Structures are given as structure tokens and as C-alpha cells.
């Protein structure tokens, strides 16, 4: 039986109704693709849908760096080991689809910055401006108030503080399993508001924010630097070989909190068990197996 689970970020979700509506729309897009075309198309469709929705911190509506620019990270991985990612990518509408092209059209795993943008243009991805007025306003509030989220070294150096509306992690992700048993994972983010130009988080790093194997697939959201240090998605998939997905993710969310990592995880194991867990105030997510749809 096919399964699909997606997340729209963890932390303090202020606009819950908009998140729920966005999750429902993305689930419907992903499920239609899952039934017709399989797990890979399902996660790409779901994440692309969220990249078009400015309520989520990915694609159009991504957070801005200190220079007021959008630099996006995204990756996709399959349980057969195929992987593609992009880092610090600018001026495209769907970074997750560029990540797919890296996986399918190159011998590389990860392209970054100008190289990733040049590749996107060669693959016929058009120019796109992902900056929104809401994100521009949030950046100005951040600069005026004096503190950068989860960046104490930068906060001290730059004397900036986080704006009240930027205390959540907006990374999005999807995990799907189709009738053939193939598991696909996709993760996309605009990163942390006010980050230094060139900063790369966990979402595009194999084993950190995204991982899939014969044991399962996991997408993470949360504080990217902490998730990177823990290689959280890889740890989760490894443990799914022996334990059911929900037990694994619940244990890891608690363990990560003890390590100082604020995060959320979604996943599906090789048995077809759907799971989710988070150690933040909340996380937006939803899942379906065709018989029912659950949205939080």
C-alpha cells in the first residue's frame, strides 16, 4: 500500500490555518502523483507545491540572508542510493526540481552557488524572483531589533536580534513509499532568516536533513547546524532496520533535544510504517495512505 507524509516546518507555527491549508494542498498533489507515477514524483510534486506557497520557508517566500537575497538548499534521495542536491541556489522557482536534475543528469551529488545556478539555466529552468514583501519586512525587523536566531557569534558581532515573526523553522519535506517498495525523500528550505551569505544548512546534505535506504526514508526540519552535527536522517534510517519508524523517530527527537538540537522528523520504514516526531513547540505535517488523510 502506498504511503505519503510531508512536513512544513517545526518551531512556533503562528499561522496555523495557512499551514494546514498548504499541507492539505501539497498532500493532494503528492498523492495524485504517487498513485500515477510512484514515490519520486510524489515527493517532488508535494515539495514543489510547497515551494510555490509563500507561507512556507522554501522556494517563493524563502527567508532572506543578511544581504537581502534568497539562497535555497534542496535535495532528493531514493532508497536505491540515488541522490541529488543544490546549495545556496538563487533565482529559480523550484530548487527541488533542480536537485532532481543533479541526481539524474550528472555524475555529481551536490552543486552549489553560481555553479548550481548555471546548471539550472542549462537545464532550462527560467529566471524567478522568490523574494516576497513579507520576508523583506521580517529581515528589516530583524536588523532593527538586535539578535540573530541561533547565531550567538554573529549576534555579538553584528548586534542584531531576531524579529518576532521569525522564530520557526520553515524547511519543508516529503517521504513516500510506492507499491514497488521504493522510498523517496525530498527536502527544501530557504534557511535561517538573517544568515550569512553562502551559509548552507542540513537540507541539502546527504545523511543530515535527507536520507533514504532500503531500511527507510527520513526528512528533517529544525536548526540546520545542529542537525548537521548529528547526521540525524542517517541515524534514523539506520535504526529503522531493527525498529519501527515511530519508535525510532520518537527516541531520536528526545535524544536530539538532549544534544541541544531543536528539530522535527518525518519518515517511512521498509515495512511501510509512517512516523513523525518533534521536540519543538509544534510542527506542521500531514500524511495519507489513500484511505484517510491526517493533517496537523
195-209 exposure pattern, b = at least 16 Cβ within 10 A, e = fewer? beeebbbbbbbbbbb
Q: Which of 60, 106, 132, 171 is catalytic?
A: 171
* DSSP per-residue codes, 240-259: TTTS-HHHHHHHHHHHHHHT
Grid coordinates representing 225? 547546524
What CA–CA distance (Å, rounded) separates 8 from 12? 12
Cβ proximity of 241 and 272 under 8 Å: no
Mode of pairing for the β-strands spanning 110-112 and 83-89: parallel
For residue 35, how many other CB atoms are within 10 A of its CB?
15
Strand duo 110-112 + 168-169: pairing: unpaired
CA distance 186 to 251: 22
Cell 527567508 found at? 63
Determine whether 221 is an active site residue.
no
The string over 12-30, giving b where at least 16 C-beta atoms fall within 10 Å of a residue's C-beta and e elsewhere, is ebeeeebbbebbeebbbbb
Which residue(s) pair with 286 in the sheet?
A: 6, 295
Edge-to-edge strand list for the sheet holding 210-213: 210-213, 216-222, 263-269, 274-278
Residues serving a catalytic function are 171
Amino acid at each position: 500500500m502506498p504511503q505519503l507524509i510531508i512536513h512544513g516546518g517545526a518551531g512556533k507555527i503562528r499561522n496555523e490555518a495557512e499551514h494546514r491549508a498548504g499541507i492539505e494542498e501539497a498532500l493532494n498533489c503528492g498523492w495524485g502523483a504517487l498513485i500515477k507515477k510512484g514515490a519520486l514524483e510524489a515527493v517532488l510534486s508535494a515539495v514543489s507545491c510547497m515551494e510555490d506557497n509563500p507561507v512556507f520557508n522554501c522556494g517563493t517566500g524563502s527567508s532572506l540572508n543578511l544581504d537581502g537575497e534568497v539562497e535555497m538548499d534542496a535535495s532528493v534521495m531514493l532508497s536505491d542510493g540515488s541522490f541529488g542536491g543544490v546549495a545556496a541556489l538563487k533565482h529559480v522557482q523550484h530548487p527541488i526540481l533542480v536537485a532532481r536534475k543533479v541526481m539524474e543528469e550528472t555524475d555529481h551529488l551536490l552543486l552549489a552557488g553560481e555553479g548550481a545556478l548555471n546548471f539550472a539555466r542549462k537545464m532550462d529552468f527560467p529566471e524567478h524572483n522568490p523574494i516576497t514583501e513579507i520576508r523583506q519586512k521580517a529581515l528589516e525587523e530583524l536588523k532593527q531589533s538586535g539578535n540573530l536566531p541561533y547565531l550567538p557569534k554573529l549576534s555579538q558581532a553584528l548586534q542584531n536580534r531576531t524579529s518576532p515573526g521569525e522564530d520557526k523553522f520553515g524547511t519543508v519535506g516529503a517521504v513516500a513509499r510506492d507499491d514497488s517498495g521504493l522510498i523517496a525523500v525530498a527536502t527544501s528550505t530557504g534557511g535561517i532568516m538573517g544568515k550569512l551569505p553562502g551559509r548552507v544548512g542540513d537540507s541539502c546534505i546527504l545523511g543530515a536533513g535527507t536520507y533514504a535506504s532500503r531500511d527507510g526514508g527520513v526528512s528533517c526540519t529544525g536548526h540546520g547546524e545542529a542537525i548537521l552535527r548529528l547526521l540525524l536522517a542517517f541515524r534514523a534510517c539506520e535504526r529503522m532496520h531493527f525498529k519501527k519508524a515511530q519508535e525510532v523517530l520518537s527516541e531520536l527527537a528526545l535524544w536530539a533535544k538532549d544534544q541541544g538540537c531543536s528539530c522535527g522528523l518525518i519518515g517511512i520504514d521498509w515495512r511501510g510504517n509512517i512516523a513523525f516526531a518533534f521536540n519543538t513547540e509544534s510542527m506542521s505535517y500531514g500524511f495519507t495512505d489513500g484511505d484517510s488523510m491526517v493533517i496537523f
